[in-house]
Amino acid sequence: MKAPKLAGVFLIVGCLLTYLMFIKRPYATTKPDVVSLSQPRLTGAVAPLEDEGPTSAAATPRFQYSIIFDAGSTGTRIHIFKFRMEDRGLPSLDHETFRSIKPGLSAYADEPEEVRLPLLTPVVLSATAGLRLLPEEKAQNLLDTVSHVLNHEADFPACFLSGIFAWITLNFVTGGLQQADSTVGMLDLGGGSIQITFSPQDEKTVQTSSIENLRSFQMFNHTHMVYAHSHTPGSYLGLGLMSARLAILGGVEASPSVGGSTELVSPCLAPEYSGSWKYGDIIYTVKGLKAGESLYTACLTKVEKFLNRRVLQVSDTELDFYLLSYFYDRGVNLGLLEEGEEKTVLVSDYIQAAKRVCSGLTVSPQQSPFLCLDLVYISVLLQEFGFPPHKQFNLVQTVNKVGISWSLGAAFHDMEARKTH
């Protein structure tokens, strides 16, 4: 078997093995449904319902598990969610187990045979007395079938990240999934792309949006229509903070040609700055221009030119929006809030912070040399989406102690898909 296929088999079998290792509970006697979805599926599985607690049927809580592997750019993470299943409405999140390893899966692109996933651990399936009571031939045939299922038929397909999963997570913790007319929107600024997702309230959004950016789906007895402009073809890939930083500094996403220069000179860096910056597998030498016009003005011109007509304006600017990921990180860098806190922030806060940082930017080990560029980019990006300077956002990393990431939403999406098939 070729190495890439072998790695894929290990990943598929490993998902099931990891479930057995971490959850440490026996399977229920009910066989889980094996389904085939037309929608992309996530890496993971939903385990059968499990009974815990008192034996009284009326008092017995029901639990369900979901395992999500997040193959990110900097590492691979596993989320094991334990849900308490309610008779009506949404399940509640009872517990989450989390582990991570580095580097990310993409680091093995040129050497897939070197893939190592310590998150996957061997387990042993031992027969109980029930099997020992069977005739030997039947018992062996049953074990052979189980072995085949574990190695070849386990239902653990993989998929690329859907832009709506983080929106589902956010609206689960804020209560929007229970009431379709009270959902909130989100902007998630990653390293490679920017995602904007919300449920349109302005009819103009529905009428003017491309069909690829509108999606209607059922989630826990409610129908939601969302506008999601993220990873679809021709969307905002390349507008994440790190990708944009490279482009604004004068680099390109592709590796420099043989003999090509890796030196980047930019008006968005302090005039006296000279240092190195690694992006992907390339180490760039980055320098500031000699003193001339104000750093803020020069950088603003570069950023506006880069973003010109790259994003679509939003009509639903009055909706309640949350800012995630690098929006949050730069807020922490500025001292607007402490790590783990929640706070409201205005577009003008980023604008003023950019002016302040750029005007006083010096070479300092305590401050990132890219902070001026990053803040100018964030402030211009929000305005390009159509948000005015007085627009207020919720700046969060967690809500009600639940991390806002796509993994929990992916688990809910898979649970709903299995329920309806």
Q: 415: which 2 tokens?
A: 């649970």
Q: How far apart are CA 303 and CA 245, in angstroms?
A: 9
| Strand pairing category for 62-71 and 76-85 | antiparallel
Q: Please check whether residue 77 is in contact with residue 70, taking contact to mean a CB–CB distance below 8 angstroms.
A: yes
Contact between residue 96 and residue 70 where contact means Cβ atoms under 8 Å apart? no
The residues, ordered by sequence, that sit 6+ positions from 124 with a Cβ below 8 Å of its Cβ are: none
The three-point CA angle 207-177-63 to 5° equals 145
For residue 388, cis peptide bond before it (omega within 30 degrees of 0): no
Residue 46 contacts residue 63 (beta carbons within 8 Å):
no
- Would you list which residues are annotated within the binding site? 191-195
β 392-395/321-325 pair status: parallel
Residue 251 to residue 244: CA distance in whole angstroms? 10
Asked whether 203 and 251 are in contact (CB, 8 A), the reply is: no
Structure tokens at 241: 């903070």
CB 350 within 8 Å of CB 378: yes
Question: What distance in Å separates the CA atoms of residue 172 and residue 180, rounded to the nearest whole number?
Answer: 11
For 147, other C-beta atoms within 10 Å of its C-beta total: 11
User: Which residues are part of a known binding site for ATP?
Assistant: 191-195
Give CA–CA dist 326/240, Å, rounded: 9
Closest CA to 331 of 249, 401, 396: 396
Give the number of other CB atoms < 10 A from CB of residue 325: 21
In terms of phi and psi (left: phi > 0; alpha: psi -120 to 50; beta: otherwise), the region of 44 is left
What is the per-residue DSSP string for 396-418? -SEETTEE--HHHHHHHHHHHHH
